[in-house]
Structure 1
Amino acid sequence: MNRLPFLSVVIPCWNEAGFVAAFLDSVLANDYPADRFEILLVDGMSDDGTREIVRKFIENEPRLRMIDNPGHSKPVALNHGILESRGDVVVRLDVHACYENDYLRRCVQGLMAHPEADNVGGTRRAQPRDEKLLSRAISLANTHPLAAGNAKYRIGASGPRWVDTVFGGCYRKEVFDRIGLFDERLDRTQDLEFNQRLRASGGKILLIPDIVCTYFPRGDAREFVEWTYRSAYWAFRGSRIVGRWIGSWRNCVPLGFVAGLAGAAVLGPHSRLVRQVAGTVIGTYGCIVLAASARVASRERDPRLLVAMPVVFFATHVAYGVGSAVGILERP
């Protein structure tokens, strides 16, 4: 434990009064040596009580600092935190999650055990924000391959493996000197862009699946659809801004689905073949979604999920597909 490097925990934050206390409790409960890490919470001038909560923690916790971030841009917050950090290692955490008490130590030990790794992360299990059916369905879909694709940090893996991205991430500080900071032009998906740039420079990202945090997805229907839409929009819009593709093939699948539905709606009335193909595709899609939903409902012993899960899966695919299309077509 005494050989662990000094660690800087960087946290972008804005209006998180409902989550920040439990989040900070989980970070401060970590078993990383108390004299070997600092916590830099970079706040976007929250006006919902977040700052007051954080100040109360600061009164009793000298390791915690709050840094102002006017404008509440997430990449700007990350860059502020990195530039202010004193650690040899920087870990990025999200306020919408709670972390196991060995999370920080195991991330850093993962870096130490794998000298070829520049970024280490774990798996992100999902937990509903409340007991409402929709919130539960969204949480279950968050880690299901039908909604998450092959994102191993969401669906899990059988053992450590090299991946294209992880949730948050634990970076060697020298990585930022080598390839630069997060791109401040990107309102979202700045982590995708950074990790793509890291891999393009020869860096490697390691997922260690038994390093675990618990994430709380948006459970309100409007917030969930908007978040899904914006995530897709910025994956494609961000690629246009930086001049290269920053996503994965999994980001393109919903776009193909929505484009197919739109094409069938336009051409179907004029072509029997299009109607037949569209009917086959939609029927196959429906069977896949219903089968997946039935397995989830059976596993969770809640027959209501047989109705809720197809709605969430379909909303995910459509919102992501539409957001992707707008991100591609919208003028600069």
Structure 2
Amino acid sequence: MTVHTPSQPVSASPNEVVVHPTGITSVSVVIPVRNESLHIRNTLEQIVRQDLHGIHLEVFVVDGESTDNTRDIVLDFATHHPMVQLLDNPNRLSSGARNIAIEHMRGDVLVVIDGHCEIPTREYFLDLVAAFEESGADCLGRPQPLDVSNATPLQKAIAAARSSRLGHHPESFIYSDEPQFVPAKSVAVAYRREVFDRVGQFDENFDAHEDGEFNLRCDRAGLSCYLDPRLKVKYLPRTSLTGLFKQMVRYGRGRVRLARKHAGMWGLGSLIPACLVLYLIIGAVASLLLNHAWIPYVVGLSIYLAAVATSGLIIALQQHSLAMLYRVPVVLATVHIGAGWGVLVELLGGSRRMKTATPPSYHEHLQC
């Protein structure tokens, strides 16, 4: 890989855009996939229909040994669109897929796009290049709402709950629509190629939260990240509470690994869900064994239920949907308990990589 002089952090005020022409003429796209046959064709069609106006685009679909017909779909697509390439990812992890793309990329910048998302405009890559050039940033972030067409009632509830104050990590900018310089750790998805020379590649010991760990290294290296709402993409929410719970368990485990590797990464936002799970378990046992222990347990549980119920009421009023009144609290409880359980399991399970290495899909961004 050619070594370029790393961009210096922008010394502007947090919301000031500095015009810094960079001469970006080529963009590399990495799409980590495994078993994405239901969505990958639609994602690729959105990409090849983009207006490029002279930008050279290469698209790497990096497949983690799919067992459905994802590979056949991509290969068929590639025969008609030479910009699309299928690459193999034998370790199956999203971190590995990203590193494979880094090794193959010829573009000036690399952007991550998942196999199941909606790109709202046909100027996405033009806006991407413009955002790099206007901001002078080393990395770009984007809003990533869980909001797609033809969503089921449960998916709509998940999208609404996850974007609420109780539904995602308080330090995340993933649902922000304000253009601004932000820490890379919660939102960065596009990088100048020299960033990888500066901070290395993605850590393949992470099978979740690998993007957050890499972005944290970008922050600690003094690299700048600009959040640009023009780069918004819409993601597919989980289709079941079971799937949502498993996703949140992975988030919780990833946060513990991040804290193990990088000092100072434990925060209240990560610990509260784990405390909730411990409270539910210990309080239930104590209520059975100790006289009157059920009183403080019920009081605490009532406060929590009132909080999630209030969130459900607010969302129901905002969206004029009675169903949100009961769906949102259930979704929020699933999010909190899943994330808390993941933290506890990882704390008790040591630093070894999760044996359930590959999720049904690679959508593991920092939305909690």
Same fold per superposition (TM over 0.5): yes
Aligned in 2, Cα 1:317/1:259: closer, same or farther, shift over 3 Å? same
Is 1:291 equivalent to 2:301 in the alignment? no
Task: Call closer, same or farther: CA 1:246–1:204 in 2, change over 3 Å.
Answer: farther
Q: What is the letter of the counterpart of residue 199 of structure 1?
A: D
- AA in 1 matched with 2:345: V
Relative to 1, partners in 2 of residues 1:24 and 1:168: Cα closer, same or farther, differing over 3 Å? farther
Question: Structure 2 CA distance, aligned partners of 1:56 and 1:2?
Answer: 35
Q: Which moved more, 1:78-87 or 1:206-215?
A: 206-215
TM-score w.r.t. the length of structure 1 is 0.90
Pick the aligned partner of 2:215 from 172, 195, 198.
Answer: 195
How far off its partner does 1:281 sit?
3.2
Tell me the CA shift for residue 325 of structure 1. Answer: 0.8
1:57–1:275: structure 2 CA closer, same or farther, 3 Å change rule?
same
1:111 aligns with 2:124: no
Bigger helix fraction? 1
Q: Which residue of 2 aligns with 1:213?
A: 233
Report 1 or 2 for greater relative contact order, CA contacts < 8 Å, sequence distance ≥ 6.
2
Aligned-partner residue type, residue 6 of structure 1: S
Q: 1:60 to 1:294 in 2, by over 3 A?
A: same
Distance 1:247 1:15, change over 3 A: farther
Cα separation, partners in 2 of 1:138 and 1:224, compared to 1, 3 Å: same
The runs of 5 or more residues in structure 2 that have no matched partner are 1-20, 353-368
Question: Considering only aligned residues, what root-mean-square deviation do their CA atoms show, in Å?
Answer: 2.5
Q: Deviations over 1:17-41 (max 9, x none)?
A: 0010111111122223355221111
User: Take 2:91 and 2:209, find their aligned partners in 1: how far apart are those partners?
Assistant: 18
1:318 pairs with 2:318: no
Q: Is the 8 A contact 1:189 1:231 kept in 2?
A: yes
Residue type of the partner of 1:207? L
Q: 1:259-306, CA deviations, whole angstroms, 9 ceiling, x for partnerless residues?
A: 33334334455475x655544433222222111101211222221221
The equivalent residue for 1:6 is 26
Structure 2: distance between partners of 1:166 and 1:298: 29
The number of residues matched between the two structures is 329
Tell me the alpha carbon deviations over residues 64-110 of structure 1, each in whole angstroms, 9 at most, x when there is no partner.
Answer: 11111123221111101011000111111111212132222222322
Specify the alignment match of 1:304 in structure 2. Answer: 323
Q: What CA deviation, in whole Å up to 9, does each residue of 1:32-51 have, x standing for no partner?
A: 33552211111123231111
Between 258-267 and 63-72, the greater mean CA deviation after superposition:
258-267
Amino acid at match of 2:131: G
CA change 1:29–1:248 in 2 (3 A) is: farther
Distance 1:103 1:246, change over 3 A: farther
Residues in 2 aligned to 1:210 and 1:160: alpha-carbon distance in whole angstroms: 12
Query: AA paired with 1:231?
Result: Y
Q: Which residue of 2 aligns with 1:177?
A: 197
Mapped pair 1:92 → 2:112: yes
SS of 2:166's partner is helix
Q: After superposition, where does 1:1-332 map in structure 2 within 5 Å? A: 3-33=23-53, 35-100=55-120, 101-115=122-136, 117-127=137-147, 131-150=151-170, 152-167=172-187, 169-240=189-260, 242=261, 244=263, 249-268=268-287, 270=290, 277-331=296-350, 332=352
TM-superposed deviation, 1:253? 2.4
User: 1:161-213 CA deviation, whole Å, 9 max, x = no partner?
Assistant: 31343456110100101110000111111101101111111122221234311
Does the aligned pair in 2 maintain the 1:160–1:209 contact within 8 Å?
no
Q: Letter of the aligned partner of 1:291 in structure 2?
A: T
Q: Tell me the secondary structure at the aligned position of residue 340 of structure 2.
A: helix
Where 2:203 maps in the other structure, the secondary structure is coil
Deviations 1:233-265 (A, max 9, x none): 12213543x354657643232122223333433
Question: In structure 2, the residue corresponding to 1:90 is in which secondary structure?
Answer: strand
Between 286-295 and 150-159, the greater mean CA deviation after superposition = 150-159
Q: Counterparts of 1:86 and 1:247 in 2: how far apart (Å)?
A: 37
Residue 162 of structure 2 contacts residue 332 of structure 2 at CA under 8 Å; is this kept in 1?
no
One-letter amino acid matched to 1:40? F
State the distance in 2 between where 1:181 and 1:50 align.
26
